[in-house]
Chains A and B, each alone.
Chain A
Amino acid sequence: MAGAIIENMSTKKLVIVGVVLLLFQAFAFMVGGLIAPSPTTAVHYLATKCVDNQKGHQEGRKWFMPWGPNQCDKIRDFDEAMAKRIEANNIVFSVHIPLPNKEMSPWFQFMLVILQFDIAFKMYNQIEDKAFVTIDVSLAYRDDSVSEWTEMAHSVEQRKLSCNFTTAKIKENEGRYYECDLLPFMEVGTVSHKYYLVNVRLPVYERKKVNVGIGEIKDIRLVGIHQNGGFTKVWFAMKTFLTPSILIIMIWYWRRITMMTRPPVLLEKVIFALGISMTFINIPVEWFSIGFDWTWMLLFGDIRQGIFYAMLLSFWIIFCGEHLMDQTERNRFSMYWKQVGPIVFGSFCLFIFDMCERGVQLTNPFYSIWASDVGTELAMAFIIVAGICACLYFLFLCFMVFQVFRNISGKRSCLPAMTKARRLHYEGLIFRFKFLMLVTLACAAMTVIFFIISQVNEGHWHWGDYTVQINSAFFTGIYGMWNLYVFALMFLYAPSHKRYGDEQASGDQGGTSGEDIQLTTTITHADGPTEVYRMMGKDSQE
């Protein structure tokens, strides 16, 4: 990878490129901050308590609507149920998503529902330790407000109650609510229907200890989270714009490499692979989710992101390794198995974990790996292993960066003593490395800073009349940034067609000293044969 464009570019041109990229970066932030709404919305639902009057179960499930025409027989609270001698098994908690006069839309991309119980404290009916709630849930949809409901999923699930009562457990505090953790309830990968209906039952079987000792449940609350349509549109627009940009630079880059007589070196291949994984993320296949009911889109998105992250991490390792400037022969992927191994293994763990959670949710949207003890342990195991892999990786990376800097300072001291060709070669290496190091650190710092800001902040800033959506700006800005990073990488690190300059050619041509020959043997791997030919003064190529 000799004579990359970045080395041969004049400072002026480099500054121009930098400014243009910065402008695009600012634009990416502004698109998110000023045009897009906040990325997601949370909608509160309070379940209506319906009474199932049917004695014997007839064919087909009966659906209970909380409001509107054909609404169910409701009770406001359980004192009423007590008076009417209604049993727990005949009470159906019903939630219609969305609220009246609204429709769901495919632009929402996904729907995530959180479950919360309002459990009142009673002296003689407290929540037992390690209590599990068994819920009988079913989900139905329809696309107009008159037709019958069609069942989408039905399942009997268990959720672990982890509640604590913050005040003293005395008679005076009866009726206060426990503070319970949020429970995962449901996750749907596409929102292709207009209306959804959730019916929840809490059946009691005393003999099997089902739903015994769960306290006095007063209400069931659901929080529905979905992506905002506006954000989806801005996101799609961005992806649609970025795909061809990265694709074009990728093709240009590969053409440049194939035009050379030598085969591409490892680093060039890795940069190209990075471009491919970026394009893979960029390709806006999500457009199809508007028309098709593809529930696997969420999982697919996760996989695409995972591939990109793994690729980016591998790239950093290989880039460092190829700039180590020691005398080892590298240029082979197998040289890096020690460093890339943890990445692959960690990503694989996360992939398995994701398959266990989102993969199973394709068939049963109510499934959650966190619901059972075994599942929780398994999930934690995967995440911890992935975390260890990440730590290992960063140790390797930091060590490699340290090594490179040590070698750089070593080479620096003997640079003036070298021949010009050799000096230029090392100066190029150092410059390329430092430049990427700087840009990468800047990008990573930006990501971390914006991540923290978006976590700490309420989500939007008021700036005069404008409302700046920090979270959206974070997503579009960071997404744009890594795209620009890959773009700049492919553009600046593409092999240059320029020579080192005439003076070099003329100055060094005669002195084919032993040093130069030695040089060829040591640096072939890093720079490819072209460099050698050029330095030897043989214009054999182009």
Chain B
Amino acid sequence: MESFCRKYLSLGSPKEGIPEDSEDALASMGFCQFLASLVLSISCHVLSSTAWSVNNFLMTGPKAYLIYSSSVQAGAQRGTEECKYQFAWDRWNCPESEFQLSKHKGLRRATKETAFIHAISAAGVMYTLTKNCSMGDFDNCGCDDSKTGKIGGRGWIWGGCSDNADFGENISKQFVDTMENGHDSRAAVNRHNNEAGRLAIRAMMKRSCKCHGVSGSCSVQTCWMQLSDFRDVGNYLKIKYDQAQKLELDQRRMRAGNSAENRGAIADTFSSIARTELIHLEDSPNYCVKNLSLGLHGTEGRECLQTGNNLSQFEKRSCRRLCHECGLKVEEKRIEIVSSCNCKFHWCCTVKCEKCTQFVTKYICSKRNKNIRPHNSTRRRQRVRS
């Protein structure tokens, strides 16, 4: 079952599934088949507890948007990778399990970290959709209905189409926000954070202009906005994460239990917060200690940075933050790494390298007692990942 599910759900995995294929597949599928496949995939989703978050997106989003699945998946992946990079030296290091955004057992936290996850995922999806739109992956990219009714009406001859980023934003909204269709405060907070992620893309977009008047003068100039590096979006959201506000909902009105009243209270609170800010409802748990019921792995066995040039203040303090402040000590390990060196590159596809061995010192958090035996295995895995 598991393998079958995987196969079916990989309808558009980033490498194999070129969207046109999936689209053709969709077209050739009859409606019944389509329905059946949906039921199947949903049951797959329920069955496989490790199903990845993207499948949540895909299964809860409007079904007509299956053509976007590969892009959405790749986008969520992009978000995950960026999250891992941004939190590499934090106590909470963005573990993959956190991306299980499903509402299992109705228990979802609304901490600063989940706020970041929501924002970066929504941003990643929007980013990838926008990029793939420019690649010609989608038939209806750009020209949406927003211009219908105006002079010139539909089509792009009269006044061009809307921006690719608008397209990415819309589809991302439809995919990601439909997961949060509840009326409770948590859903509202998550939707807000998704929006903040998408706005981060907008905020980081760069404006470029080209002059093309008489003799190339600037009497005629065309400007456009283009996506910046996704790393910039990650950095921006990390700052927003540091400034995240805790939402104090009006408890009295909430307790009244009236859902209309409730919604009013949520709306009131949200109107006072800028759309670009991240918000959360709960304080973060202690990420130092292992707590499997919350899915926390603790900082034991994590690597930290101590010496090295070009380290930022934040990175230099990582050992204190990860180890000392969590009641752990820093263990020094000298290990041998084989890496490629003296490489000759071309812009693509050809690399001629030599193998070099070098010794590097790594710092790893470990328990204060002398017994360090049980953590060897985790340490090695960490090293490989880093």
How far is A98 from B1 in the complex, measured between Cα atoms in Å?
43
Contacts of A114 in B (CB 8 A): 210
* Contact in complex: B346, A228 (CB < 8 Å): no
Cβ proximity bits A30-59 to B, threshold 8 Å, 1 near / 0 not: 000001011111111111100000000000
Within 8 Å by CB of A91, from B157, B341, B349, lies: B349
Within 8 Å by CB of B134, from A88, A91, A221, lies: A221
Within 8 Å by CB of B160, from A37, A100, A216, A454, lies: A37
Interface of B is mostly: loop
**In which size bucket is the chain A interface?**
35 or more
Residue in B138, B139, B143, B222 with the greatest tally of chain A CB atoms within 10 Å:
B222
Within 8 Å by CB of B15, from A37, A76, A172, lies: A76
Within 8 Å by CB of B350, from A37, A87, A225, A231, lies: A87
Query: Nearest residue in B to A107 (C-beta to C-beta)?
Result: B157
Contacts of A212 in B (CB 8 A): 346
Contacts of A66 in B (CB 8 A): 135-136
* Contact in complex: A216, B345 (CB < 8 Å): yes
Complex interface residues of chain B between 130 and 175 (CB less than 8 A to chain A): 131-143, 151-152, 156-161, 164
How far is A74 from B212 in the complex, measured between Cα atoms in Å?
34
* Contact in complex: A357, B346 (CB < 8 Å): no
Q: How far is the CB of B353 from chain A (nearest CB, A)?
A: 9
Query: Nearest residue in A to B151 (C-beta to C-beta)?
Result: A35
Interface of A is mostly: mixed
* Contact in complex: B310, A170 (CB < 8 Å): yes
* Contact in complex: B231, A88 (CB < 8 Å): no
Q: How far is the CB of B113 from chain A (nearest CB, A)?
A: 22
* Contact in complex: A211, B346 (CB < 8 Å): yes
Question: Given A125-B343, A451-B219, is A99 in contact with B141 using a C-beta cutoff of 8 Å?
Answer: yes
Q: Would you call B14 an interface residue if the criterion is a C-beta within 8 Å of the partner chain's C-beta atoms? A: yes
How far is A455 from B210 in the complex, measured between Cα atoms in Å?
11
Query: Nearest residue in A to B160 (C-beta to C-beta)?
Result: A41
How far is A54 from B52 in the complex, measured between Cα atoms in Å?
39
Query: Nearest residue in A to B309 (C-beta to C-beta)?
Result: A170
How far is A204 from B140 in the complex, measured between Cα atoms in Å?
37
Q: Would you call A215 an interface residue if the criterion is a C-beta within 8 Å of the partner chain's C-beta atoms? A: yes
Contacts of A357 in B (CB 8 A): 215-216
Question: Given A88-B350, A230-B151, is A122 in contact with B345 using a C-beta cutoff of 8 Å?
Answer: yes
How far is A102 from B144 in the complex, measured between Cα atoms in Å?
12
Contacts of B15 in A (CB 8 A): 76, 80
Q: Would you call A202 an interface residue if the criterion is a C-beta within 8 Å of the partner chain's C-beta atoms? A: yes
* Contact in complex: A455, B221 (CB < 8 Å): yes
Q: Would you call B27 an interface residue if the criterion is a C-beta within 8 Å of the partner chain's C-beta atoms? A: no
Complex interface residues of chain A between 47 and 94 (CB less than 8 A to chain B): 47-48, 66-68, 71, 74, 76, 78, 80-82, 85-88, 91
Question: Given A45-B134, A67-B137, is A230 in contact with B349 using a C-beta cutoff of 8 Å?
Answer: no
Question: Given A221-B134, A230-B159, is A100 in contact with B348 using a C-beta cutoff of 8 Å?
Answer: no
* Contact in complex: B214, A302 (CB < 8 Å): yes
Q: Would you call B306 an interface residue if the criterion is a C-beta within 8 Å of the partner chain's C-beta atoms? A: no
Q: Would you call B31 an interface residue if the criterion is a C-beta within 8 Å of the partner chain's C-beta atoms? A: no
* Contact in complex: A38, B159 (CB < 8 Å): yes
Contacts of B351 in A (CB 8 A): 82
Residue in A46, A216, A459 with the greatest tally of chain B CB atoms within 10 Å:
A46
Cβ proximity bits B122-135 to A, threshold 8 Å, 1 near / 0 not: 00000000011111
Within 8 Å by CB of A223, from B131, B141, B224, lies: B224
How far is A35 from B158 in the complex, measured between Cα atoms in Å?
11
Contacts of A107 in B (CB 8 A): 157
How far is A451 from B218 in the complex, measured between Cα atoms in Å?
10
Q: Would you call A182 an interface residue if the criterion is a C-beta within 8 Å of the partner chain's C-beta atoms? A: yes
Within 8 Å by CB of A67, from B136, B215, B229, B345, lies: B136
* Contact in complex: A99, B136 (CB < 8 Å): yes
Q: How far is the CB of B318 from chain A (nearest CB, A)?
A: 13
Q: Would you call B250 an interface residue if the criterion is a C-beta within 8 Å of the partner chain's C-beta atoms? A: no
Within 8 Å by CB of A176, from B133, B219, B226, B229, lies: B229
Contacts of B346 in A (CB 8 A): 88, 204, 206, 211-212
Q: Would you call B50 an interface residue if the criterion is a C-beta within 8 Å of the partner chain's C-beta atoms? A: no
Contacts of A217 in B (CB 8 A): 347-348
* Contact in complex: B136, A48 (CB < 8 Å): yes
* Contact in complex: A225, B349 (CB < 8 Å): no
Q: Would you call A306 an interface residue if the criterion is a C-beta within 8 Å of the partner chain's C-beta atoms? A: yes
* Contact in complex: B347, A101 (CB < 8 Å): no
Q: Would you call A214 an interface residue if the criterion is a C-beta within 8 Å of the partner chain's C-beta atoms? A: yes
Q: Would you call A136 an interface residue if the criterion is a C-beta within 8 Å of the partner chain's C-beta atoms? A: no
Q: Would you call A140 an interface residue if the criterion is a C-beta within 8 Å of the partner chain's C-beta atoms? A: no
Q: Would you call B283 an interface residue if the criterion is a C-beta within 8 Å of the partner chain's C-beta atoms? A: no
How far is A357 from B215 in the complex, measured between Cα atoms in Å?
8
Q: Would you call A520 an interface residue if the criterion is a C-beta within 8 Å of the partner chain's C-beta atoms? A: no
Q: Would you call B20 an interface residue if the criterion is a C-beta within 8 Å of the partner chain's C-beta atoms? A: yes
Contacts of B133 in A (CB 8 A): 99
Within 8 Å by CB of A46, from B134, B212, B214, lies: B134
Q: Would you call B32 an interface residue if the criterion is a C-beta within 8 Å of the partner chain's C-beta atoms? A: no
Q: Would you call A343 an interface residue if the criterion is a C-beta within 8 Å of the partner chain's C-beta atoms? A: no
Q: Would you call B188 an interface residue if the criterion is a C-beta within 8 Å of the partner chain's C-beta atoms? A: no
* Contact in complex: B349, A81 (CB < 8 Å): yes
Query: Nearest residue in A to B147 (C-beta to C-beta)?
Result: A37
How far is A455 from B347 in the complex, measured between Cα atoms in Å?
37
How far is A204 from B346 in the complex, measured between Cα atoms in Å?
8
Q: Would you call B220 an interface residue if the criterion is a C-beta within 8 Å of the partner chain's C-beta atoms? A: yes
Query: Nearest residue in B to A37 (C-beta to C-beta)?
Result: B159
Q: Would you call B3 an interface residue if the criterion is a C-beta within 8 Å of the partner chain's C-beta atoms? A: no
Complex interface residues of chain A between 358 and 386 (CB less than 8 A to chain B): 383
Q: Would you call B223 an interface residue if the criterion is a C-beta within 8 Å of the partner chain's C-beta atoms? A: yes
Question: Given A37-B152, A228-B159, A451-B219, is A101 in contact with B140 using a C-beta cutoff of 8 Å?
Answer: yes
Q: Would you call B18 an interface residue if the criterion is a C-beta within 8 Å of the partner chain's C-beta atoms? A: yes
How far is A248 from B341 in the complex, measured between Cα atoms in Å?
78
CB pairs A–B below 8 angstroms (11 shown): A67-B135, A80-B15, A81-B348, A88-B346, A99-B136, A101-B139, A101-B140, A102-B142, A102-B161, A230-B157, A454-B221
- The 5 tightest CB contacts between A and B, nearest first, are A37-B159, A41-B160, A42-B224, A230-B158, A229-B157
